Amino acid sequence: MSPRKKKDNLPLWMIVGVITGAMIMYLASNDEYIFKSKRQSPYSKESWEEKRKLSGLSSVSDAGIVLASEYEPARNNASPNSPDAPKQSDPIEKSDLPEDAILLHTDGKKFIPNSFKVALGAPVTLALKSEDETGHILMFNDESLRAVAIGLSSGEMRAITFNAPEKAGEYAFHCDMLGHKDEGETGTMIVE
């Protein structure tokens, strides 16, 4: 190995060194790469609870219980809009909904889709958007869910968060605006 050859190799190592240094500096400047190994959900617990408060939805406890107040669970069979009932939101946008929300819309006195599945007892955010020229009132037929209702004007979207029933089965719902149910504005929530 001649000294001359060793000298010739030197610039190559300098280039590798400079590139490596530049990469380290780039990654260090990108704090997301260094400090956040996983991409954060846009709905971290804190940000979603904040969104709930802003949009008027009921809070959910760490154990997944929908709350009427700081200490009291909401009751699905309370009088609609009473202090014990799950709260319907103010008018909201789709971007206000959690990723796992169930979104229905109305179109010509139909719910689309007109069926959805939820897990026993799970906290569910159900949203309804009017995409036609009239208001609608989504209500369940069963008395046990009489507080779970969404009423909206034409063009609005609102939501409600509630705990799904603890009893498996099919729970029918309908639109309570005069004549809408008779024209087929009905649906089914499947609890399993």
Where on the chain is the footprint of Cu ion (CB under 5 A)? 136, 175, 177, 180, 185
Q: How far is the CB of 121 from Cu ion (least distance, A)?
A: 28
Distance CA 179, CA 185 (A): 9
Give whichever of 88 and 163 is closer to Cu ion, judged by the CB atom.
88
Give whichever of 121 and 184 is closer to Cu ion, judged by the CB atom.
184
Give whichever of 104 and 175 is closer to Cu ion, judged by the CB atom.
175
Name the CA radius of gyration of the chain, rounded: 27
Q: How far is the CB of 102 from Cu ion (least distance, A)?
A: 17
Q: H or E element: which one contains 188?
A: strand 186-191
State which residue has the least CB distance to Cu ion.
175
* Cβ neighbours for 126, distance < 8 A, ≥ 6 positions apart: 101, 102, 104, 116, 138, 148, 150, 159, 160, 161, 162
* Contact between residue 145 and residue 171 where contact means Cβ atoms under 8 Å apart: yes
Q: How far is the CB of 128 from Cu ion (least distance, A)?
A: 10
Give whichever of 150 and 175 is closer to Cu ion, judged by the CB atom.
175
Give whichever of 68 and 175 is closer to Cu ion, judged by the CB atom.
175
Q: How far is the CB of 136 from Cu ion (least distance, A)?
A: 3
* Contact between residue 125 and residue 154 where contact means Cβ atoms under 8 Å apart: no
Q: How far is the CB of 180 from Cu ion (least distance, A)?
A: 3
- Dihedral sign computed on CA atoms, order 43, 49, 50, 55: positive
